[in-house]
Each structure stands twice: as structure tokens, then as C-alpha cells.
Structure 1
Amino acid sequence: MRMTLRQRYELVENKVAQACDACGRDREGVRIIAVSKTVDLDAVEEAIAVGVHDFGENRPAELLRKFEAFPQERWHFIGNIQSRQLPSIVGRACLIHSLYERKHAEKIDSLAAKAGIVQDVLIEVNDGEENKQGLEPDALFEMLAFCHGLKHVRVKGLMIMALRGDLQSARATFADLAILRDTMNSKLAASGMADMVLHELSMGMSDDYLEAIPEGATMVRVGRAIFSDDYAG
């Protein structure tokens, strides 16, 4: 028998709670981002009714449409950034998870300045795979220092996507990102930029979020496990 959205969400919630308990973490330290990119407004409304308030979208047009339908919820942009689409994202996304290019940081800063806001972002890090978006780890500090000089961009942490289908590799990727985050915080403090502290780690999706939590994930991006009728994970 297929589960309802409520049952699927409650199952994910219970698994997150159990994973936190198993590794001695506070459940409140992990936020579930319900990735709603494949569903329509009715499914979002149903999700809100069962207690979901953080949603992830990877297309600016969909982010805009759903934000306008449910402006009281927290909308996260998790897709690849294109400059021409940033006006639809800045000020609507509570957090942009996928920043890794300076030109986009500058554009976000300019748009946020015009709107009179500070836009929260995460820097996306590449896990080493070819042809995958994200910043190389050895270029991260320069990017952080650059963003530190922007008045309307606030870097809250890091994001990564792990190789799918290999849970051991995924967990190693998540562990490496946590180490990188701690290293960057130390370098920022030592370089006179202690006001920039990377708290957030956005890592783990439907297939591997249980590997991300023991490694310090503060946000897990879960779509199919919540919204898909045929998800078997």
C-alpha cells in the first residue's frame, strides 16, 4: 500500500531524529529542506499542512511561482545560478545554496542592495567529479574573502552534492566538507574576518541524508522521500 505524503514526511522526520540520537546531536540542529521541484502547488499545500515550512527549488521560475503562492514559507534556491535569472531569486530565496562564481556574488550583492536587504548564501563546493558545478576546495578561501567584502551578501556556510550510488563515498565527502568548513572558520578568524562564521552544512539528499547527519549536516535536501509515491528508500 502506498504511503501518503504525511506518512512519508513523518518517516523522514523519524529517521532524522533517530540519526541525530544515534550520533549524539540535537534534533533541532538539522533542518529538512523539502525539495519540491517536481511537484505542483497542491502538493506544496499538503506538505505545509503536515508541518513542512522549508522548500527547495532549482528553477527560478518555479521558485517565483511557489513563493508568490506561499510567501509565508521559507524558499531555498538549490539550482545552478544563471545571472539573468537572479532577479527572480534574490529576496525571494531565504537562502541560495549554490553560489560559487564571483560574478554571481557581485550580481546578488547589487540586486540585494537595490532591494535594501542582505541575501544569505552558501558556497557550493565541488567534490572532485568532472563536469560538476561547485568551487574547488583550494579556491574556497579566496571566494570567502571576496564575499566578505560585499555588503549585501552574507555567507552562512557550505553546500555539496555527493556521488550518488555509493554511500561510503558519500559519507567521506560529507566528512571532508565538515573538515573544510572548520578549516575555513579558523582561517577567517586568523585573517581578521572573524565576523564571517560558516555555521551551515547543506549536504545529503533522499538517498544519502542519513550518512550526512553524523558528519554534521545542518540541512538535508530531501525530495523524493517526501513527495514521490514510488520512492523505495
Structure 2
Amino acid sequence: MQDNLLKIVDKIKEAQVKSGRQEDTITLIAVTKGVAPEKIKEAVSIGINNFGENRVQEVIPKIEILPDKLTWHFIGHLQSNKVKEVLPRFSLIHSLDRLSLAKEIQIRSEKSSRITEALVQVNVAEEKSKFGLSVNEVEGFIEMVVEKFPNIKITGLMTIAPYVEDPQEVRTIFRELKNLSCKIKVPGVELKELSMGMSSDYEVAVEEGATMVRIGTALFG
């Protein structure tokens, strides 16, 4: 795993240099779907402390036996009835995509006197099989969340690009999300995080402005 990590880090650095982003910090989120706790502990031992999961029931037993210092990101589609289990365990929700979910997050956050950070999921490619708002819905959605749900802090955007053999084919998807983050102007909201790029396309995502990449297979095998 150490060799895999070194290769990923080198490729991220190369992508940063290529795009003139040497000074930017890129957060590598290790995706642990289907990964045993022993493998996660190995990842921790080589310096990884950001982990991503998309299944609540799968991750709870893992979190309970892993070090407390880890930062967990919820990266999958979040059902409203799972919010109560997600909020105490995850630092950032990457998949805020509807007002009904925002309402439940607000209720649970208010009860526990916390501010919940979230990214808005955008279905840039408009794939029917994927969740997320369309590009032209995002600004209005953020305005409504800010107005109605004070315990939610939106800190950026997330997208999942279509799987393709050549990652260059999805460059425009990442570029469009970056452009969208720059265009949206909602008072009090800074869209500083762009969660985009996975094992097959993270280099292109970094070149186009990703601040967070979600990597599973390339790291764990």
C-alpha cells in the first residue's frame, strides 16, 4: 500500500505543477467501501487520516474499532433516516442534494448544538443513474439552505464524473464544476472545496481545480 500511496502522491504533485497549483493543498480521501479494518489501520500507519464511506451500516463497526483521530467523510447518497447515525461520526457530508435532506440535517444539528459542514452534490453530466442537482439548480438551492437552515454550512461542491477509459473525456465535467463554484455568489458562502476525481481520473480532476480526491482502488487495490 505504501508504494501505491507514493505513486498517487507523486501523480497529484505532477498534476499540480502542470496546472500551476503547487501551493494548493489537496486532501486525499481514502475510500474504504468493502475495505477491512486491518487495511484501514495499515493506511493510518503510512500517514493517511482522511477516509470516505458511502454505506452507513458498513462503516459504523469500523469506526468503533479504529483510532478516534481519523477524519471521516460521508461520500454516498444519504437517506434522511440515516442522518442521525451519520452526524456524530462524520466531519463532512459530500452529498447534500435536496431540501428534505437539508431539513433533517438541520433538525438533528440543532438538537445537538452543532454546525454541520456539507458539500452540494452536482450531477454535472446529467446521468440518470446518479444523484445530484443539475448545474442550473445549485445557486438557488444554496440560497434556500442558507435562508432556512442555519446549522448547515456549505463549504463547496462535489461531483462524480462518468466512468470512461480515457480520463481526458471527463475533463470538461471537472472544469464545469470549478467554473460553477466561481460563478456562484451567495452572501456568507465560500465554495472553497471541490470534491471531484476518483481512482481513474483524479489527475485530471486536480488539474481542473479539485481540492479533494476520493481514491479507493488505486490505493487499496
Q: Scaled by the length of structure 1, what TM-score is found?
A: 0.90
Cα deviation per residue 1:101-150 (whole Å; 9 max; x = unaligned)?
10001101111111221111000001212232100111111210111121
User: Which residue is equivalent to 1:67?
Assistant: 63
Tell me the CA shift for residue 27 of structure 1: 5.4
**Aligned Cα root-mean-square deviation (Å):** 1.2
Give yes or no for the alignment of 1:182 onto 2:175. no
Counterpart for residue 143 of structure 1: 141
- Give the match for residue 208 of structure 2: 215
Aligned length: 217
**Contact 2:19/2:208 (<8 A) preserved:** no
Percent identity among equivalent residues?
Answer: 35
Q: 1:32 aligns to what?
A: 28
Aligned partner (choices 194, 198, 207) of residue 201 of structure 1? 194
Cα distance in 2 for residues equivalent to 1:115 and 1:66: 23
Superimposed CA distance per residue, residues 67-103 of structure 1 (whole angstroms, 9 cap, x where no aligned partner): 2223210000011111111111113111100110100
Give yes or no for contact 1:91–1:112 (8 Å, CA) kept in 2. no
Deviation >6 Å, runs of 4+: none
Opposite residue 151 of structure 1, the aligned amino acid is P
Residues 8 and 225 of structure 1 are in contact (CA less than 8 Å); yes or no, is this contact kept in structure 2? yes
The range that moved more, 171-180 or 23-32, is 23-32
Matched, 1:102 2:94: no
SS of the residue 1:29 aligns to: coil
Confirm or deny: 8 A CA contact 1:100 1:123 kept in the other structure.
Answer: yes
Determine the C-alpha separation between the residues in 1 that align with 2:180 and 2:202: 19
Structure 2 counterpart of 1:90, from 70, 84, 87: 87
Deviations 1:16-55 (A, max 9, x none): 1121122211355211101011201100100000000000
> What is the TM-score normalised by the length of structure 2?
0.94
Structure 2 counterpart of 1:139, which letter? E
> Which consecutive residues of structure 1, in runs of 5 or more, have no partner in the other structure?
229-233
Please, which runs of 5 or more residues in structure 2 have no aligned partner?
none
| Aligned partner letter, 1:108 | I
* C-alpha contact (below 8 Å) 2:118/2:155 kept by paired residues: yes
Counterpart code for 1:125:
V
* Rounded Cα–Cα distance in structure 1 between residues aligned with 2:84 and 2:58: 13
2:152 counterpart residue number: 153
Deviates more, 1:39-48 or 1:27-36: 27-36
**What is aligned with 1:231?**
none
